[in-house]
């Protein structure tokens, strides 16, 4: 599924990487624990988290995920968005809670990682 | 005998959460420029990042040495921190002594050391309570796990 479809489906706002919404997403990793993301991400996933500090983007970069989606309307500050742009990681935010996001994406055929 | 190709030493500043992870990002850039295999690079930077975060969270300061040979990448991380009283316990997934502040940073869920071990081909931890901890990790260049 294209990141652009995920954006529409989850009514997201794009905070960084508007030009990269054509990337394909097939797997998802979701957690507020960064070590959990590092342990399970295999690279190229969509990362869903409620943690909006600089470490979320740092983790995304180290783990090699394709994009970051912040849930429950949590917005990172400017410095974090700038850092994501610098690392070329698209960043989206939705008002939806993590459980609902995962349910919707699972129903559309996206897979988790383990 | 492996031939040493590169050695870089980094200083890690303890308790500085804003800068935490910068060294690992730098290592990623260095290894990428050297065209290290992507799976190997990924394992290496995950180990570096978890180790760096541990130093930032628990110690006043630490050092990280990155050594690249024609066969492997070695990371040696040493800190002046509180030390680990029971290393076997610390290696168990889910065991953590992290504070709420560390958890708010997204770390301290008891996965750091197990994550480092999982991503290394050779791994060992030495620690002395009240003095500090040393972590040694080696990742083979031909490993693609």
Of the partner residues A39, A51, A62, the one whose CB lies closest to the CB of residue B106: A51
Cβ atoms < 10 Å from Cβ of B123: 18
Residue B114 to residue B43: CA distance in whole angstroms? 13
| Cα of B109 to nearest chain A Cα, Å | 7
Contact across the interface for A35 and B107, Cβ inside 8 Å: yes
Residue B19 to residue B13: CA distance in whole angstroms? 8
The DSSP bridge partners found for residue A47 are A29, A68
How far CA A8 is from CA of A11, A92, A93, B78, in Å, comes to: 5, 11, 11, 47
pLDDT digits (tens, 9 = 90+) for A49-106: 999 999 999 999 999 999 999 999 999 999 999 999 999 999 999 999 999 999 999 9
Contact across the interface for B106 and A62, Cβ inside 8 Å: no
> In whole angstroms, what separates CA B80 from the centre of its chain?
15
ipTM over 0.95: no
In terms of DSSP bridges, do strands B132-140 and A91-93 run parallel, antiparallel, or are they unpaired? Answer: unpaired
pLDDT digits (tens, 9 = 90+) for B76-101: 999 999 999 999 999 999 999 999 88
| Cα of A19 to nearest chain B Cα, Å | 23
Contact across the interface for B25 and A53, Cβ inside 8 Å: no
Is the per-residue pLDDT at B2 higher than 90?
no
Q: For the whole model, what pTM was predicted? A: 0.93
């Amino acid at each position: 599924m294209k990141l652009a479809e995920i954006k529409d489906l989850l009514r997201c706002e794009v905070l960084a990487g508007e030009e990269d919404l054509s990337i394909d997403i097939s797997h998802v990793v979701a957690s507020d624990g960064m070590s959990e993301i590092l342990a399970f991400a295999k690279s190229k996933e969509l990362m869903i988290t409620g943690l909006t500090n600089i470490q979320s983007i740092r983790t995304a970069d180290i783990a090699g995920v394709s994009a970051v989606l912040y849930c429950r309307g949590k917005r990172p500050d400017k410095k974090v968005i700038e850092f994501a742009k610098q690392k070329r990681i698209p960043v989206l935010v939705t008002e939806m809670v993590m459980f609902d996001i995962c349910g919707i994406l699972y129903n559309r055929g996206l897979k988790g990682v383990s | 005998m492996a031939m040493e190709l590169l050695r870089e030493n980094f200083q890690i500043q303890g308790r500085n959460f804003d800068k935490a992870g910068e060294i690992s990002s730098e290592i990623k850039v260095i290894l990428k420029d050297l065209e290290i295999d992507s799976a190997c690079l990924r394992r290496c930077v995950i180990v570096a990042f978890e180790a760096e975060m541990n130093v930032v969270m628990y110690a006043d300061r630490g050092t990280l040495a990155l050594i690249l040979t024609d066969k492997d990448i070695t990371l040696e991380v040493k800190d002046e921190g509180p030390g680990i009283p029971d290393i076997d316990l610390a290696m168990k997934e889910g065991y953590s002594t992290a504070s709420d502040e560390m958890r708010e940073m997204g770390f301290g869920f008891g996965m750091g050391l197990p994550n480092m071990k999982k991503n290394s081909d050779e791994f060992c931890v030495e620690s002395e309570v009240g003095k500090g901890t040393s972590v040694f990790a080696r990742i083979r260049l031909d490993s693609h796990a």
